[in-house]
Structure 1
Amino acid sequence: MNKKYLVLPAALVVSVAVVAAIRLWPSPLKDMRAQDPCLGKLTEKTAGLLYDGKGGRLTVDEDTRGGAGSDPVFSTVCFVNRDPEGNAADRLQCTVDARPANTLNDPVKGATRLADGRSGWVSPRQSEVQLPAGCPKEMKADAEYVTVTLKVAPGVVVAENWDDAALTAASRTVVLEAVDNLAKQYDCEA
């Protein structure tokens, strides 16, 4: 058999082996993401702060959309739910996602702007907070900002009896933990 015909199959085998090794090789980023829900953005304790009061076990569904090769942190929406046990469907508590952006959204009516060197705003139903200024570069995002968005489900708002102060405090804790954990993952903390 002619050896020149073996070069292409050998190169393909080596390429597949390298790609598999890279994907399976342990890394601190993979470990951080595997440890906690929402690709490591939240701890289970913090994810459970927004609660509709109807019982059930906390569950997290990471819905990944987007192109192959892109960082899953930008193509994954995290759904924090309560499993009511039995045949009933999970009840949504909140969603958390991170997106690169070149412009920032205006705060919703009644939102509180963050201070202490943080950029963003928090409200009872929706919050948007930007990661530190160095993060977009570290995350290889072709944008000026990376924003974490938290949306609170209507059932949680009703369960809190429309107590905006309590919801804002819980939302602030959840969204800031997501921002801080992402900044740690990419080593771009302020």
Structure 2
Amino acid sequence: MNKRHLVLPTVLVVAAAVVAAIQLWPSPLKDLRARNLCLGMLTKETAGLLDDRKGGELVVDEDKGAGAGAGADPVFSTICFVERETKKDTTARIQYTLDVRPTDTLNKPAKDAAPVGAGYSGWIGPRQSEVQLPAACARPMRTSAPHVTVTLKVAPGVLVKENWDTAALISKSRTILLEGIDNLTEQYDCTT
């Protein structure tokens, strides 16, 4: 057999091996997404902090909807629905949603919100919270927006079961958001 006819198949085999090695190589992003819920943001224990106390198993639905544009990170096109369901339920009960989005402008805090603290910019409210990832996260997340915001929206059933206790809701929301942000900054190697 002529050696020049072996060059192309050899190159293709080597290229396939390199691509397979890269995809199988462990990384913080792959590890956290495989181990945790909500695209690697939350442990199961933390995900269950906000609860309507009607019982049921914790269920997470990572709804991959419309994206933030071609080439943008898939974390921007996914809304994480944290729900509870029992065998009696016909549909799961939403406890809260967690959403990561690139944005050009920041929303004003809700009137009953508290600063997030821990060196992060943003606010935590009993119904909704918005916290910004460090500016260094934009590039590895493939966005040109000046801000990347993690938004948590608490379902009405949880608010009622917490008796609208602002301090308790803010405390639990803060724990969820800080763990989510810490895991995202680890995944993308963009800590402050």
TM > 0.5 fold call? yes
Look up the SS of the partner of 1:150 in the other structure: strand
CA root-mean-square deviation: 2.6
Letter aligned with residue 182 of structure 1? L
- In structure 2, what residue type is equivalent to 1:131? L
What's the TM-score once normalised by structure 1's chain length? 0.86
Q: Which residue of 2 is the match for residue 5 of structure 1?
A: none
Map of 1:1-190 to 2, 5 A cutoff?
A: 17=16, 21=20, 24-28=23-27, 29-65=29-65, 66=67, 69-190=71-192
Counterpart Cα distance in 2 of 1:80 and 1:150: 11
Aligned-pair CA distance for 1:17: 4.9
- Note the alpha carbon deviations across 1:136-159, whole angstroms, 9 max, x for none: 122221111110000000000001
Unaligned runs of 5+ in 2: 1-8
> How many Å apart are 1:130 and its aligned residue?
0.4
Give the structure 2 partner of residue 3 of structure 1: none
- How far has the Cα of 1:24 moved from its partner? 4.4
Aligned length: 185
How far is the alpha carbon of 1:115 from its aligned partner?
3.1
Specify the SS of the correspondent of 1:55. coil
CA distance in 1, matches of 2:176, 2:54: 20
* Percent pairwise identity: 57
Q: Which string of whole-angstrom CA distances, capped at 9 and with x for unpartnered residues, describes residues 98-147 of structure 1?
A: 11111111111211123342100000110000011211122221111110
Amino acid at match of 1:136: A
Provide the rounded CA distance (Å) in 1 between the counterparts of 2:135 and 2:70: 26
Which ranges of structure 1 fall in alignment gaps of 5 or more residues?
1-9
Counterpart of 2:6 in structure 1 is: none
1:145 to 1:18, Cα distance in 2 relative to 1, 3 A: farther
How far apart, CA to CA, are the structure 1 residues paired with 2:156 and 2:18?
A: 43
Partners of 2:53 and 2:22 in 1: how far apart? 40
Q: Tell me, yes or no, if the aligned pair for 1:51 and 1:93 is still in contact at 8 Å.
A: yes
SS across alignment from 1:134: helix
